[in-house]
Amino acid sequence: MEILVAGGAGYIGSHTVAELLEMGHKVITFDSLQKGHKEAVLGGEFIEGNLLNQEDIEKVFKKNTIDAVIHFAADSLVGESMEKPDKYFRNNDIGGMNLLSAMIKYNTKKIIFSSTAATYGEPEKVPIEENNATIPTNPYGESKLIFEKILKWHDTAYGIKYASLRYFNAAGAHKSGKIGEDHNPESHLIPIVLQSALGKRDCVSIFGDDYPTEDGTCVRDYIHVTDLAMAHILALKKLESNGESAIYNLGNGKGFSVKQIIDVARKVTGKDIKTKIVGRRAGDPAVLIASSDKIKKQLNWNPQYADIAKIIESAWVWHKNHPDGYKKRPTQNYA
C-alpha cells in the first residue's frame, strides 16, 4: 500500500512514518519543513511542499498511486491560535481542503485525520467521550472541528472515508532514540520541563494556579507518541477493510496537573526543576481527560506506555542526547 503522510516530518507524523516503514508500507512524506525536520523522516520518499499551494500537492497525486492519506500538516498551538486565528483557519482548513481536492481528483478514498481534544473546549464531563459537546475555546480547536465537518460532507458526497483521531497530549520519544520532540520555539510543557532539567532554561513558568483543580494547575491526559502512531495504523486498517468513517479519542484516561508533571520529571531526571507561577495562558481549559474506550473496543488499540514516568523517561533520553533537537545526532538507544 502506498501511503501519503502530509506533515510527516513533524513530531507525531515522523513517529507514524517510522511505524509504517517498520510494517513494510511504501511511504511518501509531504512536508513544508516550516516546522518539521527532514532528519526526522527515517525512510521512504520525501517531498517538500506546502498544502496551501494546490500544485504542490496535486503533483504528488499525479506522479503516484496514493491508496490512503494520513494528514498531520497543521498548526497546533493553542496560545498562538488565539493571537493569529487567520493563520489557523488558513493552514488547517484551506490547506486541508486542497489536500481533499487532490484526493477527489485522483480518486483516493481514505484519510486519517489528526484532530484534537481542543475540539471539546471546556468539557461538560470527564472522562470525555466522543459524543460530548464540541464547543472549542480556541481557534486551533475550532479549525480542527471545522475540518472534521468538512470530512463528514466529503464522505457523504464523494465516499471519502475518514477516521478522525482526537489526540489529548502527545509526549515521549521513539524507542530507537533517533526521533523525538523538537519545536522552535518550544511551547509544550514536557519538553520545557526537560530543557529546564538540562539547565537550558532557568525555570518553568506554570500558566495559572487558580484553576478549579486539586492543586490549581491545569490537568491533561498525556499519551505516548508511539501509541498515537499505532492508532493511526489501526484506523487505516479498519478503513481498508471497508470500515465506516469514525471519530476516536486518544488518551490514557488519567489526568496529571502541571505541578504533578514537574514532580514526575524531577524524579525521572534526578534534577532540581525550578518553577514560577505566572498568569493563565489564554484558551486553556482546566481539565482534559479522555475516555479511549471506543478505540480500544472497536480497533483493539492497546497503549504500551500507560505509565507517565515511562513516557517522561523516553522523552528525557531524547532531550539528553539531543539538547539542541535535530541539530545534534542521537547517541544512545532507549529500550
Instruction: Kindly list the residues in this chain that would bind ligand UDP in the complex (CB under 6 A).
Output: 78, 169, 187-189, 192, 204-207, 218, 220, 258, 281, 284
Least Å distance, CB 250 to ligand UDP, is 13
Least Å distance, CB 177 to ligand UDP, is 22
Least Å distance, CB 229 to ligand UDP, is 17
Q: Shortest CA distance to 213 belongs to which of 253, 255, 249?
A: 255
C-alpha cell at 295: 478505540
At 61 the three-state DSSP class reads: helix
Amino acid at 125: K
Question: Please, which residue, 14 or 196, has the CB nearer to ligand UDP?
Answer: 196
Q: Shortest CA distance to 40 belongs to which of 12, 2, 3?
A: 12
Please give the residue whose beta carbon sits closest to ligand UDP in the complex.
218
Start-to-end C-alpha separation, the chain: 29
Burial annotation 88-114 (CB, 10 A radius, 16+ → b, else e)? bbebbbebbebbbebbeeeebbbbbbb
Q: Are 119 and 113 in contact (CB under 8 A)?
A: no
Q: How far apart, in whole angstroms, are the C-alpha atoms of residue 178 and residue 226?
A: 13
Least Å distance, CB 171 to ligand UDP, is 8
Question: Please, which residue, 77 or 317, has the CB nearer to ligand UDP?
Answer: 77
Question: Please, which residue, 4 or 126, has the CB nearer to ligand UDP?
Answer: 126
Q: Are 169 and 163 in contact (CB under 8 A)?
A: no
Question: Please, which residue, 36 or 285, has the CB nearer to ligand UDP?
Answer: 285
C-alpha cell at 292: 479511549
Q: Are 148 and 164 in contact (CB under 8 A)?
A: yes
Least Å distance, CB 117 to ligand UDP, is 8
Question: Please, which residue, 132 or 187, has the CB nearer to ligand UDP?
Answer: 187
Please give the positions annotated as active site. Answer: 140
